Amino acid sequence: MVRRRLALLPGLLASASLIGGCGHPVQNKLEGRWLGGGVENFDDAVVAAATGWARGTSFEFSGGSVTVSIPAEEPRTGKYKIASVHESDVQLTVERADGAVDNVHLKLDDDRCMRWMLGDNRSVVLSREQ
């Protein structure tokens, strides 16, 4: 009887870790602070201003929350969920304090670089803080 219970132990531990695990695997890839460094696909006339704005932008992922800091605005924190993942494309839903929900499109290039897709093929390039 004791042997039988011990034989089941590895399977039970594995199941417990899956049930109480750390959420979606992409959540682990997002964890940490990401700093804006530049922009892509902006008109030449606004690229300098857009780059300055991007360099003041940051995302900080901690557990199921994200804090977004944008120049000239107060940082905003909300709970986020992974809505979908397809290859490097990640769609998030972020709940604001007032209950409104924002959709965020990210492209994870690798462990150190991602892009915040703004629409019209424009993006803010972010790098993981070291």
How are beta strands 113-119 and 122-128 bridged, if at all? Answer: antiparallel
Q: Name all domains of the chain by residue range, CATH numbers in brackets.
A: 23-128 (2.40.128.270)
Map tokens 């780059």 to a residue: 51
Percent of the chain with pLDDT over 70: 82
Q: What is the pLDDT of residues 34-84, one digit of tens each?
A: 999 999 999 999 999 999 999 999 999 999 999 999 999 999 999 999 999
What confidence category does residue 27 fall into, taking pLDDT thresholds of 50, 70 and 90?
Answer: very high
